Amino acid sequence: MRIHPKLTAVINGELFVSSAGILLLAANAMHADSAQVPADGRARGKRTVEVLLSAARAGGFKQAHILETLLLTDRESARTAELALQAMECVGGVGELATALRRAGFYPEE
């Protein structure tokens, strides 16, 4: 998968992936075939997408149905990246994002 440049940043020589990038990586895992990603990885990807989109909806994101379609059909497009960025802005701040990621089974440093 090619990650759109808007979804990453290099800081002090280290690559960081934005929350929108995490959403797209999770969608990619969710829709991968079993030769690429095992069943538990696909399930974790699905859970991550569900939790992040739920948090975005709760924060007022109104285009989740469009983004869900794009996550299924066109994960590498600029439009998908832009909608993913908008969705993650609706999640709230770092604390809200960390809470959502914990619900998905991740334990990010705060």
Q: What is the pLDDT of residues 45-87, one digit of tens each?
A: 999 999 999 999 999 999 999 999 999 988 888 999 999 999 9
Q: What is the pLDDT of residues 86-106, one digit of tens each?
A: 999 999 988 999 999 999 998
pLDDT at 110 over 60: no
Domain assignment of residue 36, yes or no: yes
Residue 70 has a CB neighbour count (10 Å cut-off) of 21
Domain assignment of residue 108, yes or no: no
Residue 87, amino acid: A
Residue 3's pLDDT band (cuts 50, 70, 90): confident
Burial of 82 (0-12, 13-18, 19+ CB in 10 A): middle
Domain assignment of residue 110, yes or no: no
Domain assignment of residue 91, yes or no: yes
**What is the model's pLDDT at position 83?**
97
| Calpha distance 15→72 (Å, rounded) | 26
Q: Stretch 31-56: mean pLDDT, rounded? A: 94
Backbone torsions φ then ψ of 93, nearest 5 degrees: -85, -165
pLDDT at 7 over 90: no
Q: Stretch 17-33: mean pLDDT, rounded? A: 92
Burial of 74 (0-12, 13-18, 19+ CB in 10 A): exposed
Domain assignment of residue 25, yes or no: yes
Domain assignment of residue 99, yes or no: yes
Domain assignment of residue 86, yes or no: yes
Taking the chain, what is the end-to-end CA distance rounded to the nearest angstrom? 28
Range of the domain at 47: 5-103
Counting the structural domains of the chain, the total is: 1
Domain assignment of residue 15, yes or no: yes
Angle at 17 between CA 48 and CA 7, to 5 degrees: 95
